[in-house]
Amino acid sequence: MDQIQLNGMEFWGYHGLFPEENKLGQRFYVDLELEMDLQPAGHSDDMTQSIDYGEVYQITKRVVEGETRNLVEAVAEHLADELLQYFSQLEACRVKVTKPDPPIPGHYQSVAIDIYRSKHDE
């Protein structure tokens, strides 16, 4: 399946189990792989045959910077649901949400949730 990829989007959100995370907020990075047939858009050069990247960004921003959730898993799941519902031509999506600075002890670059959802899973 063809893909549109949006990588390294950065947002400020208030997700987490600890009160400090909900009050102070922190950075979240989002990478998306959107699966659909891109051949009609490629042949026609018509935007209506594809997905508007700006709309994808705005939906992602609204979800990540919106309602506070305890788990990054819930953020990723909600985003996948929103994208699959909004774009009728979207067949499936991979959503990766990275939390670079979680308040847990240890040395690591980040923690991330990576999910794959399809309209056929429903």
- Cα–Cα distance, 35 to 111 (Å, whole number): 24
Spell out where 3-121 has E strands: 3-13, 26-35, 92-99, 111-118
SS3 92: strand
55-73 b/e (C-beta count within 10 Å ≥ 16 → b): ebeebbeebbeeeebeebe
Q: What are the catalytic residues?
A: 99
